[in-house]
């Protein structure tokens, strides 16, 4: 497909990527809330609170990006690419720490990155 064909419907890979973003928003939101709940204000739990706050912030940013994909705003693709790149790095660190479930996060982030940075995805955001 060429760039000129994207005056029409959203490419299928981007639709699936939005589904992946929604999953990440829900998972990150839940984890962020749990981490904030575990931090009871002690100095030792301040790190948990900070991580929980950052996780909730990233969930909010991804939710906004997922909602704005149909508007074809270029900064949405860039923002998602940066956050998903960080998610891949985080998953790799988790794997080296012995957390095999981190593999799911890596796979999902790579799938979203591929959709947003495919020729069709790039064309969608450049029209």
Q: How far is CA 1 from CA 11, 47, 123, in A?
A: 10, 47, 9
Tell me the per-residue pLDDT of 21-77, one tens digit each, with 9 for 90 and over: 999 999 999 999 998 888 876 666 688 888 899 999 999 999 999 999 999 999 999
pTM exceeding 0.75: yes
Tell me the per-residue pLDDT of 62-114, one tens digit each, with 9 for 90 and over: 999 999 999 999 999 999 999 999 999 999 998 998 888 889 999 999 999 99
Instruction: List the end-to-end C-alpha distance of the chain, in Å, as a whole number.
Output: 14
**Percent of the residues in the chain that have a pLDDT greater than 70, as a whole number:** 91
Selection from 121, 34, 127, 116 nearest residue 83 by Cα: 116
């Amino acid at each position: 497909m060429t760039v000129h064909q994207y005056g029409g419907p959203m490419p299928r890979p981007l639709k699936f990527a939005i589904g992946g973003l929604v999953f990440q928003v829900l998972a990150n939101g839940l984890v962020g809330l749990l981490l904030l709940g575990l931090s009871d204000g002690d100095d030792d739990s301040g790190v948990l609170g900070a991580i929980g706050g950052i996780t909730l912030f990233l969930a909010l940013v991804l939710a906004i990006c997922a909602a704005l994909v149909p508007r074809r705003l270029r900064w949405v693709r860039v923002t998602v690419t940066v956050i998903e790149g960080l998610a891949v790095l985080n998953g790799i660190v988790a794997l080296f720490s012995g957390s095999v479930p981190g593999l799911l996060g890596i796979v999902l982030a790579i799938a979203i990155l591929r959709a947003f940075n495919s020729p069709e995805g790039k064309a969608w955001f450049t029209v």
